[in-house]
Chains A and B, each alone.
Chain A
Amino acid sequence: MDSLNLSKFCIRLGDHCLIMAHRQSELCSNGPFLEEDIAQINLGLDLLGQAEALLIYAAKLEGGSRSADDLAFRRSERQFHNFMLTEQPNTDFAFVIVRQYIMSLYLLKTYQVLSKVEDETLSGIALKALKELTYHERHFSMWINRLGDGTAESKLRIQTAVDELWMFVGELYEEDALDLTAQKALYAPKGEEMKAFLMEQITAKFTEATLSVPESVYMTTGSKQGIHTEYLGFLLTEMQYLQRAYPDAKW
């Protein structure tokens, strides 16, 4: 892949991590109990670290006209390429768990492939992230089991979250020109391979947790062109507040 495509590729992956990290940060002091609150923020920080590494590398590949901070804080909604799933709000704890569980699987598969590429920066980022994501999957899948196979109320809540979020899953294995370029260079799994992996994992987990996998439903599309749900704008308003109000403010 040439550096222009590679930088776009890193921005996409970095955007998924950055937006999820912000969603996780919103849970700070709002977790169901202290230990879980800290765990959720921890996992959010892992994602922020991955986002930072990826955006720094993307900025470098672009030639240095923009910094990683510019990428995070000076782009508008239409310039973000995170999946719509990642920006979905923390409606309740079940929504957090379902969103993060599915994205953990996606990132696991993505980093598994990336850990084997020749580009040493990317394979280094991926190898480190793989360890983090292995734990994320473990933590979130534990909650899928607990809530799904828990009380009538917890089951209702998590099945509702699954049903509401399911239409955003299609984007995770959709392919556009950049994906095909990345796949050709062996930087990303094929869409059908990603889909098979996700469905296999999710079906097994949901069966164990006595949840049902939604039947074929309408799947949204658009984040690869910068089209998002209404929630991203509000998220960015908060995340980018400081740089918008005080441009070039330094810590």
Chain B
Amino acid sequence: MSEVKDTQGQLWEVFIQTKKGLPFKHFGSVHAFDKEMAIQNARDLYTRRGEGKGMWVVPADAIVAVDPNNDASFFEPADDKIYRHPTFYELPDGTKNM
């Protein structure tokens, strides 16, 4: 079978801030040929129902990720160190978004 050439442009990852002050969260990805088209496509795909107050798009290949086949050495050493969680403190009333 011949290889099908993808003509939809580069892949971009979309991050949306649902409310001012909150962190940006990953929502999904879009295809586009450049920055301008990427942000417009992301707007039309992910913010049509009032999801966002802020938006970032990042070229997917600019994201550095952990190799999923080699993630044990990255994450597992933290599993048995519960003292690193601040769970022994009581949160003051009225603290949101911890």
Q: Hey, which chain A residues are within 8 Å of B30, CB to CB? A: 35
CB-contacts of A11-34 with B (<8 A): 33-34
Interchain CB contact under 8 A, B44 and A42 = yes
Instruction: Specify which chain B residues have a CB less than 8 angstroms from the CB of A39 in the assembled complex.
Output: 40-41, 44
Asked if B32 is an interface residue, CB under 8 A from chain A, the answer is yes
Q: Which 5 A-B pairs have the closest CB atoms?
A: A35-B41, A39-B44, A33-B8, A42-B44, A35-B30
Question: CB distance B31 to A38 under 8 Å?
Answer: no
Number of B interface residues at 8 Å Cβ cutoff, please give it. 14
Interface residues on A, range: 10 to 19
Cα–Cα, bound, A10→B37 (Å)? 34
Contacts of A33 in B (CB 8 A): 7-9, 31
Bits for B41-52, please: 1 = Cβ < 8 Å to A, else 0.
101110010000
Nearest neighbor of A36 in chain B, beta-carbon distance: B41
Q: Contact check: which of A35, A42, A139 meets B48 at CB < 8 Å?
A: A42
Decide if B36 is an interface residue (CB 8 Å cutoff): yes
**What are 8 residue pairs bridging A and B, where the CB atoms are less than 8 Å apart in the complex?**
A34-B31, A35-B32, A35-B44, A35-B45, A39-B40, A39-B41, A142-B37, A142-B40
| Interchain nearest-CB distance for B33 vs A (Å) | 8
